[in-house]
Structure 1
Amino acid sequence: MIDPMLSNAANLPHSMDTFIAIAVGNTRTRVGVLQGTECVKAQSLSSDQSGDIASFVAALFDEFEFGSDEPVVLMSTVSQEDADSIEDEIKSKFGWSIYRLGRDIEIPIRHTLTESGEKSVGQDRLLCAIGAFDVVKQACVVVDLGTAITIDFVDGEGVYHGGAIMPGVSTMLESMHTSTSHLPELKYRKLDPSSFEPGKQTDDAMILGVAAAAGGAVRYLAERYAQFYEGYPQIIATGGDMGLLEDDELIEAFVPDLQLHGIRVACKMIIDNENEQDDQDND
């Protein structure tokens, strides 16, 4: 098991009561304000629209009280190119500093990944794992439904064991349309939970297929992880498409903006660890 040392809290700003968190995804970026333990306002924007993201960050600074001349801004990313563009845009327009997870601040999570896995795992997966364990305080399956769907396992000690990655529902629908001659272009729509009929026409069959793929994967992997762990973990869902699972009794918690909360929890862990070390040094 890999147990990384927590980052030095000196890399973090002194006040974290209110801050802006930016989670840069493959296609969408989530930007929100966190006050205490709550995400009080958040919005999703296209990851390649750095100007729009910078403008929204500025609007949040104008709307909320940060207690200083500039906001604390923390950023995680799975796309370094988009993150660089967003950081450059914010710095050039407003002169504000950006604290980036993985560059300025290590992500404090124990894990059992291989060396290659540690280098390639997405920050979104690690931060959602940290956020989920903080919510349930026990072993859990973390389901993040977006462009891709990730279904990961965290044990009862908060150790991240990795998981599975599959296409998201929109990605599956797009792939069927672009890879075939006659399947239509569709956007996902919610199924009628009271109906158990097969799809009676092509579009219904496609929607039913991607819903079954996503929901079935969650059930299959939850059983697999339970056998691995020899105990049944809670299942927590997040992400832009988490509504897909809202009628699934297997899901025990839905947490919007779990990654943003993971950023908050990661920073708190680092600061708490530093304070604990200072107390030990003073004893």
Structure 2
Amino acid sequence: MADNSKASSQTQPVLLAVAVGNTRTAAGVFIGNQLDRSERWVNAETPNPADRLADLVSRSGTRAAAVASVNEPVAKTVCDALGTLLPADPGVFRIGTDLPIEIPHNLKDASTVGQDRLLCALGAYSRARQACIVVDTGTAVTINFVDGEGTFHGGAILPGLGMMLRSLHTSTAAIPDISPCHEPDAATPWGRDTADAIAVGVRAAIVGAVHELVMKYAEHYEGYPQVVATGGDAVRLFSNDDVVEHIVPDLQLLGIKAVCDVALAGEEEVSS
């Protein structure tokens, strides 16, 4: 993604959005309404993300950051690092604490829903402005439904690609530990050795679940929503899929930006 100069950002509001997941962290700089650049790193390989964050802050000149998280220990490390990089005003805001996620819902208990699910739904709807099915392929896979009015209805949760592979390895005596990056031989639809058989099986489990639930959601809604995928394994699973229409890697960051826009609009309304 293009890396605009700090000078070009001085006339527009600049925001650093950070989404801390169970496995990975994503961070992106918004200049005005545009995502200027984004980065990702694996949490276990980056115990101190200060250098990554410092680079984003120094290149953009941002004075504000918004942090969403489903992994509090890593989020604390991120926020501590940002606290040393940014001025106190405006500083670092936590999604859900300082900035509520304003999305209408039809849930039994919204307090149990992860921020990542709500933010991806908000990001998808703010982008499409129509009914969406949002597939997030992270540590877990979530398949959520947002109607044409932007109401979040809930969805489904299943193990992600890495979790399935680890479970097969740790729960059996002989199944090997293979990487999520392992590409099975495409010459046949079945695996001709154990590693390929595992890769074929776990990918089919996730893709098949998505296809099945998309059809069920569409039948219940009596319309066919736009299907959007995001997350670390989205390209690997859905790059040539007939059901998933769009792959948007930065969907959760778009959701964070939407939360900040709503909060800013509310402040302007109060002050006017």
- Is 1:60–2:60 an aligned residue pair? no
- Residues 132, 145 of structure 2: 8 Å contact kept: yes
- Residues 184, 191 of structure 2: 8 Å contact kept: no
User: How many residue pairs end up in the alignment?
Assistant: 258
AA matched with 2:60: F
- Residues 22, 30 of structure 1: 8 Å contact kept: yes
Could you say which residue in structure 2 is the equivalent of 1:179?
171
Distance apart, 1:122 and its partner CA? 0.5
For the residues of structure 1 that align with 2:267 and 2:149, how far apart are their CA atoms? 20
Could you say which residue in structure 2 is the equivalent of 1:140?
132
Alignment deviations for residues 30-67 of structure 1 (CA, whole Å, 9 cap, x no partner): 1221223332222222336776322211111222243x
Q: Which has the higher contact order (CA 8 A, sep 6+)?
A: 1
Could you say which residue in structure 2 is the equivalent of 1:19?
15
Identity of aligned residues (%): 41
For the residues of structure 1 that align with 2:211 and 2:46, how far apart are their CA atoms? 37
1:108 to 102, 105, 112: 102
Could you say which residue in structure 1 is the equivalent of 2:28?
32
For the residues of structure 2 that align with 1:191 and 1:161, how far apart are their CA atoms? 36
Tell me the secondary structure at the aligned position of residue 52 of structure 1. coil
AA matched with 2:19: A
Tell me the secondary structure at the aligned position of residue 143 of structure 1. strand
Q: Which ranges of structure 2 fall in alignment gaps of 5 or more residues?
A: 1-10
Given the superposition, is the C-alpha separation of residues 275 and 91 from structure 1 closer, same or farther in structure 2, using an over 3 Å criterion? Answer: closer
- Is 1:209–2:201 an aligned residue pair? yes
Could you say which residue in structure 2 is the equivalent of 1:157?
149
Over aligned residues, Cα RMSD in angstroms? Answer: 2.2
Alignment deviations for residues 102-149 of structure 1 (CA, whole Å, 9 cap, x no partner): 11010010001112xx11110010000000011111111000111111
For the residues of structure 2 that align with 1:76 and 1:143, how far apart are their CA atoms? 18
For the residues of structure 2 that align with 1:92 and 1:65, how far apart are their CA atoms? 14
Q: Which ranges of structure 1 fall in alignment gaps of 5 or more residues?
A: 1-14
For the residues of structure 1 that align with 2:74 and 2:12, how far apart are their CA atoms? 25
Distance apart, 1:95 and its partner CA? 5.9
For the residues of structure 2 that align with 1:190 and 1:158, how far apart are their CA atoms? 37
1:166 to 158, 162, 175: 158
Tell me the secondary structure at the aligned position of residue 180 of structure 1. coil
Could you say which residue in structure 2 is the equivalent of 1:231?
223
Tell me the secondary structure at the aligned position of residue 91 of structure 1. helix
Could you say which residue in structure 2 is the equivalent of 1:255?
248
Given the superposition, is the C-alpha separation of residues 122 and 278 from structure 1 closer, same or farther in structure 2, using an over 3 Å criterion? Answer: same
For the residues of structure 1 that align with 2:261 and 2:205, how far apart are their CA atoms? 37
TM-score, structure 2 length as denominator?
Answer: 0.87
